[in-house]
Structure 1
Amino acid sequence: MKLRFVAATVACAVGMVGGNVWAQSQSATVSAAVLEQAKKRFETEFNGIVIDEVSPTPFQDILELRLGNDVLYTNPNVDFVLQGSLVDVKTRTDLTAQRIEELNRVDFAQLPLDNAIKMVKGDGSQKIAVFEDPNCIYCKRLHQTLDEIDNITVYSFLFPILTPDSRTKSEHVWCADDRAATWSAWMKDNKKPAEKTCDTPIDAILEFGMKLGVQGTPAIFFEDGSRANGWLPADQLKARLADAAKNLEK
């Protein structure tokens, strides 16, 4: 019971702070030889698992092991392996969540925006890219939320992963004479797109999204490269857009 109380207290208290994951807490000094030793020991103990990077953390004798966009923790001798959240108690910062967000950042300018449906509201100065399934309830809710956001450009990537019908609807939307109007009419008013076929970039989008680790919809990417997995209410979406704008100014 006490452990559950501590876990719940930590979950309520911690948060994420923007910027480099170790910027707010000085990393412990660890030599390159020690980092390499930990890498070799882990890969010896867990044959077949390759570590992409070993990094120091702000805490003595705690090292971060990066496997793709996932992180684990160990000590220099690899006496243990820990999977879970590393929390800085002093700052109440979930360093693991912060680090994973950093690893998941993308170069917004490198997104294949020509393969997205572009919708502009107002001066379009704020930008997001969203991977969406036409049968995703929370994607539809996001479109309702976007009605409360001014001056935004939305790039919608058709990402049909829920049902076979999702693929059919996505093809019909992409092949419509006015993709943006057809997409909006379906997502906001449930107006079914007319049946029409053509060549589509859907397979390429699916492959690209999987490479980015998109596993559900909506997946929202902001102009500073940060992302949000899932629907955001208007106040949170506005806050994330403001944060992205500040990060771009740095």
Structure 2
Amino acid sequence: MRFKYYTALLLALGAPVVMAAPADEIRASLAKLNLPMQVQSISESPLDGLYQVQMESGRIIYASPDGKFLVQGALFDVTDGTLKNLTAAAESSAIGESLNAIPREELVIFAAEEPKTHVTIFTDVDCGYCRLLHSEVDELNALGIEVRYAAFPRSGPAGDSARTMESIWCADDPQQAMTEAKLGNSIADASCPNPVEQQYQLGMQIGVQGTPAIFLANGTLVPGYKPAKVLAEEALANQ
């Protein structure tokens, strides 16, 4: 009762009652957790009373307005009798923007002569299915799909695969070095400032759990190998 009294008194005197905005409350709460990634944006979610927190990786969590409760999981819209995964749609859009913003010089790109769309593939040179997929890059290019490789050494950024991939990124001809490595041939050691570890960490943040991890232009994840024709059809449908 005393709180209500003082609030009424302040309002009557014209003094504003300053309350922290939900976004500020949520940011302050998350800051205490020392999360490995930064908050990109905070907005109201489609569900009343729940806020959508987009991390810089593109991943989404939900929070109460005071930031005291967090929810991790999928939010579905069932208003028309079907399941629409709102979380997946929002995450894919954000991840697509993040991947499409990677500078081209930091990727190993196999360009199409007449590009229609592209895929970003987190790859490991020692992965069998990655090698199989790479054998179909020419076919993908012919179908209008540009292939953009990002590094994801499955043994981690300190393993032998990572060292090989650093040599690929630092080679005079990264495309040829990538092809040789995926044929099982040795390539010349090379060193330079490179994005291999950074791309590995990015892959971890956006949910890459194995290779090849194929992201279509709109951020949709296609886990694992798919034949070139099938992959091209999905890529063209998800630009």
TM-score (norm 2): 0.64
Aligned match of 1:48: 32
Distance apart, 1:93 and its partner CA: 0.6
Structure 1 residues 173 and 83, CA gap change in structure 2 (3 angstroms):
closer
Q: What residue in structure 1 maps to residue 190 of structure 2?
A: 198
Aligned-partner Cα distance in 2 for 1:197–1:80: 50
Q: Equivalent residue for 1:84? A: 73
Aligned match of 1:157: 150
**Are 1:106 and 2:102 matched, yes or no?**
no
Shift of 1:171: 4.5
- Alignment root-mean-square deviation, CA: 3.8
In structure 1, the gaps of 5 or more residues are: 1-32, 246-250
Aligned to 2:178: 183
Within 1, Cα distance between the matches of 2:62 and 2:99? 30
What displacement does 1:64 show?
2.5
Find the counterpart in structure 2 of residue 248 from structure 1: none
Are the structure 2 counterparts of residues 206 and 227 from structure 1 closer, same or farther at C-alpha, using a change threshold of 3 Å?
Answer: farther
| Pairs aligned (count) | 207
Look at both structures and tell me which one has the larger radius of gyration over its CA atoms. 2
- Which letter maps to 1:166? S
CA distance in 2, matches of 1:48, 1:98: 28
Match in the other structure for 2:221: 228
2:231 corresponds to which residue? 237
Maintained 8 Å contact 1:35/1:54: no
1:101 and 1:186, CA in 2 relative to 1: closer, same or farther beyond 3 A?
same
**Structure 2 spans left out of the alignment, 5+ residues:** 1-17
Matches of 2:167 and 2:64, distance apart in 1: 54
Percent of residue pairs identical = 21
Using a 3 Å threshold, how does the CA distance of structure 1 residues 34 and 147 change in structure 2: closer, same or farther? farther
2:46 matches 1:58: yes
Mapped to 1, the partners of 2:98 and 2:27 lie a distance apart of 31
Residues of 2 paired with 1:47 and 1:153: CA distance? 39
* Distance in structure 2 (CA, Å) of the matches to 1:236 and 1:130: 15
Greater relative contact order structure (CA < 8 Å, 6+ sep): 2
